[in-house]
Amino acid sequence: MRVLVTGASGFLGHCIARQLLARGDQVVGLQRSDAPALRALGGECVRGDIADAQVVEHAAKGCDAIIHTAAKAGHWGSEAEYQAINVRGTQHVLAACLRLGIAKLVHTSTPSVVHQGHDLEGVDESIPYATRFLAAYPRTKAQAERLVLAANQRSLSTVALRPHLIWGPGDQHLLPRMEARARAGRLRFVGASKLIDTVYVENAADAHLLALDRLAPGASCAGKAYFIAQGEPIKLDEMVNALLDCVGLPPVNRRIAFPVAYGVGAVLEWVYRAFALSGEPIMTRFLAEHLATAHWYDLSAARRDLGYDPKISLAQGLRLLKASMA
């Protein structure tokens, strides 16, 4: 197939593109920055903004499918920017599919679309969307996921995947931020340590290829969303300290109570908005809730409908990550 990967210079997008190219597919990458690593692998690059409909349609011409990973992530930022990238960008991808007759769309979503501030322990995809959002990221990703699933039809098969806390070699977001806070002595755990699940980047990418290959009109996965993770729940502090060990840092044990973290987050949000401060608060209400609650998922549907089975275990992934840091 000839596949457009939006966000192909990103952590997950690049891994997906690499896996597609390795099996013989053609890849067109759409991203705002240059992608020399993708070109070196034999992929084509289109530079442009996902919020520009003409750019998206230009990149999608001649493609058989789209894997849409481009998004603005994080727990802080401009609502307008989140809307432009996560919602309007997704609308442009859908419009390009319909105008150009592209039959398959795999959309990268997030489990945050169902998180309402309480523990999620072994839940499956029957859990409803959250009705309250403390940040623009989950709110706009929920909007985008709904659009993608509602667009499933005879001429366009769609599926949404919800990978959780992606990590591994080449991580540009989760591990670098964690490492920076740990080195600055500013990393704290919130409340009691709860179970979470994560996903190694190669497994997350593999899930996207599995979904791509199974998508077809009337397929069991068409029009549905799926949680994607390791299937190996682990306490948050154990996972964080395992990742810190990979970069040669000692374990962190400092902890603050959830009400304190939530209150600090609320105050910092107000201060940053009131004084239009640059950067982001070290704590927000959204971040406090995610650090203090359990979030792990029943992967039965992904195993059944996609054939998803994590090829790289948690222990193997940590060894690979540590080796990449040497």
* Whole-number pLDDT of residue 172: 85
Closest by CA position to 230, among listed 186, 195, 180: 195
> Is 129 annotated in the active site?
no
Decide: 200 and 230 in contact? Cβ < 8 Å: yes
* Whole-number pLDDT of residue 173: 87
The two structure tokens encoding residue 4: 């457009």
Q: Facing residues of 107 across strands?
A: 68, 160
* Whole-number pLDDT of residue 235: 97
Exposed/middle/buried for 230, CB within 10 Å: 0-12, 13-18, 19+? buried
From the candidates 82, 129, 137, 262, which is the catalytic residue? 137
CATH of 2-172+197-230+297-312, one of 3.40.47.10, 3.90.550.10, 3.40.710.10, 3.40.50.720: 3.40.50.720
Looking at the chain, the whole-number percentage of residues with pLDDT higher than 70 is 100
Domain ranges of the chain: 2-172+197-230+297-312
Average pLDDT over residues 41-51: 94
- Reply yes or no on whether the pLDDT at 233 is more than 90: yes
Q: What is the pTM of this model?
A: 0.96
